[in-house]
A and B are shown apart, each in its own frame.
Chain A
């Protein structure tokens, strides 16, 4: 029944390939630029860093600094902050499009009526949710490949450079990030949670809308709408203006892969978990009533 499996999940595989190609292209572009910079730095070093030069005390004449490979972290951030991944929208689309395809195909077929006489509704419901969640596996595989690839090219022993011009200052990160394993696990977990949040929202939308294009557009708009509400309503108006606190910067469901941990790693993780739980509850309540699901399928 491989052909049946392919017909259900070919979009998941396509999303994996697109994500992988975009990531490789993005990393390759960044890496080529990095090598050009390195070459230019060495030319400048040869040209300006002679004995008695006025520039000897500047970083441009510190051979160790200019010849250092970029850190793993820096390379990853640059890869996912390229034009290929504008504001994390690429990831959102790569997650929701295959799930919308899978769900609309299922609901439009009406096969649920035949399944309901063969297994309990709770099993059908959980199967539907788990099969939708399965779209994170290509994403996880892709991330693992990108991590592996990036670590081969960069200084994989450290996440941050010991003497960074960019890393720590730019992101205000705690020293916890100096542990590569901790960083990788944290990055994986938060991104998986964000991807599951997108899938939960897609499941919620597809409960009512069974047209692929309409469901995809509404899912996307809903995710962007939630993001705007969190950024403008919750963070800007409530947390920052009224409460005068700064942790609201974590309230962002789109910057998982582009990385913004300005409010701390714990804050981002707590927010991702909270959003996952809230959106799961949304799915739980919207799929609770078997009769309503059946009636929605009958309207087709």
Chain B
């Protein structure tokens, strides 16, 4: 799996949120997107998964451009910004609704994803009763439950306790070693340094590739 970002810019009204980004993401690596809040990370990720269309440039998923089409890049697990679920349903039922769309996993796979994020014991609790960290965990479980080739997580560790962060980090490293492509964004350097192989630094819409975050 290879994602190519070619001269991608996104403009809202007269402001460039992402400006002329160029990079390549390849399987078997974890990429860290680092930058302050509002630096353009989320918008960049939304363009990657074709939620947003770039104002100019293109994003290619294995050579295919999904922008301005109704199609979508398959085998991609995504959590962008905040998790979104039905408040009056349990965490498990929310995942089950989503699992039925592609129908490639069963209840045990859902439970496995919940176990990875340390949420199995709370699976029958209603989503609206979840704390911020639990909601975030459910969002991550949603992104990984179908065993996708690409995992994209935007600020995944917001509100999650350290033990679970460690567990999820280890899981992502294992998946990387199995050959998956993983992209994680955060405004916390240490979270990214622990697991990422390469970094993209976002500063007011400008994107630069870094091999080490310490120089920033």
Residues of chain A whose beta carbon lies under 8 Å from any beta carbon of chain B: 1, 3-4, 7, 105, 109-123, 290-291, 294, 298
Contacts and interface: CB of A to CB of B under 8 A. Distances in A.
Nearest to A119: B101
Given A105-B86, A114-B84, 8 more contacts: A1-B96, A1-B97, A111-B84, A112-B84, A114-B85, A117-B76, A290-B51, A294-B51
B88 to A, nearest CB: 6
B70 A120 contact: yes
Residue among A109, A118, A119, A121 facing the most chain B CB atoms (10 A cut-off): A118
Contact size range, B: 20 to 34
Given A1-B97, A113-B80, A119 B72 contact: yes
B101 A3 contact: no
B99 to A, nearest CB: 9
B53 interface: yes
Nearest to A8: B86
B48 to A, nearest CB: 11
Contacts of A120: 70-72
B84 A113 contact: yes
Contact of A4 (B52, B71, B89): B89
A105 B53 CA distance: 26
25 contacts: A1-B93, A1-B97, A1-B100, A4-B93, A7-B86, A109-B86, A111-B85, A111-B98, A112-B84, A114-B98, A114-B142, A116-B49, A116-B51, A117-B49, A117-B78, A118-B98, A118-B101, A118-B146, A120-B72, A121-B70, A122-B70, A123-B70, A290-B70, A291-B52, A294-B46
Interface string B41-74: 0000010010111000000000000000011100
A151 to B, nearest CB: 41
A114 B97 CA distance: 10
Contacts of A113: 51, 78, 80, 84
Contacts of A105: 86
Interface of B: 46, 49, 51-53, 70-72, 76-78, 80-82, 84-89, 93-94, 96-98, 100-102, 142, 146
Contacts of A4: 89, 93, 97
Contact of B85 (A7, A109, A117): A109
Chain B contact surface mostly: loop
A187 B97 CA distance: 38
Nearest to A1: B96
* Closest A-B pairs by Cβ, 4 of them: A110-B84, A122-B70, A118-B101, A120-B70
A111 B70 contact: no
A121 B85 contact: no
Nearest to B42: A298
A123 B71 CA distance: 10
Nearest to A7: B88
A122 B76 CA distance: 18
B72 A117 contact: yes
A111 B96 CA distance: 12
Contacts of B80: 113
Contacts of B52: 291, 294
B141 to A, nearest CB: 11
A129 to B, nearest CB: 14
A113 B52 CA distance: 12
Residue among A109, A110, A117, A123 facing the most chain B CB atoms (10 A cut-off): A117
A291 B49 CA distance: 12
A290 B94 CA distance: 23
Contacts of B84: 109-114
A240 to B, nearest CB: 45
B77 A117 contact: yes
B86 A116 contact: no
A91 to B, nearest CB: 28
A114 B185 CA distance: 18
A171 B52 CA distance: 55
Contacts of B81: 298
A1 B110 CA distance: 15
A181 to B, nearest CB: 41
Given A1-B93, A115-B98, A291 B53 contact: yes
B86 A121 contact: no
Contacts of B89: 4, 7
B92 to A, nearest CB: 11
A289 B102 CA distance: 24
